[in-house]
Amino acid sequence: MTGLRGYQDLLVNATTPQLWREGYRRLVWVLPTGAGKTRCAQTLIARMRATDWCAVYYFAHTTELVTQPASGFASRDVRFGFLKAGLAGDGAAAVQLCSSATAVNRSFYALPRNDGAPHRRCVAFVDEGHRVKTRTILRILSSLSAVYETVYVVIMTATPYRADGRGMTDVADALVAAEDRDAVVGQAEERAGDRHPARIVRRNADHMAGSQ
């Protein structure tokens, strides 16, 4: 999990820690498909666990998304467990990769620090962040807040808006658009070939009013 692109490094190692220090605990990470949301999450989790700074929960709604972050942890000696039927659990691991459908029916407890004492803070990652306002995710975040003194939330999405028009101001404190537009466009063109040049489409800000 080394060799982050410039915009990824800025997001993980500068912008996110700085916003947390300033009191913005609930962040929306906006990166388009292919820009490395999971890689950013893996790197930040490994960094936090290297100092035993917090417990970590990663919530997703499909098996593929639940298991995806685990791919980079073995090389960084990050202990983790799954919270999903059919996958290996480790209730003492300070990183829990969770199916949101499973987690919503479980009772949370403060995960242990390396010295055995309970963690007082946690960071919750929510993949496919446009789902953050579902009853399932809201109930999970409420449960974590009842267990930990401090809960940080990272909502990861390529689409920071919802089809029902509801915004995110009640579940997030700041939105960080971390993509490098030229790099992402270049990657898209490379995949598509010369027959399908990338095209950037902008919409009037009024269209996004529901997500402000």
pLDDT in tens, 6-52: 999 999 999 999 999 999 999 999 998 889 999 999 999 999 999 99
Gap between the Cα atoms of 78 and 70, Å rounded: 9
The answer to whether residues 98 and 58 touch, using CB atoms and an 8 Å cutoff, is yes
pTM of this prediction exceeds 0.95: no
Q: Give the pLDDT band (50/70/90) at residue 204.
A: very low
Give the single-character DSSP code of 97: E
Residues in Cβ contact with 74 at an 8 Å cutoff, skipping those fewer than 6 apart: none
Top pLDDT among 79 and 189 is at 79
pLDDT in tens, 110-132: 999 999 999 999 999 999 988 89
Give the mean pLDDT of 183-192. Answer: 55
Q: Give the pLDDT band (50/70/90) at residue 2.
A: low
Residue 174 forms beta bridges with which residues?
27
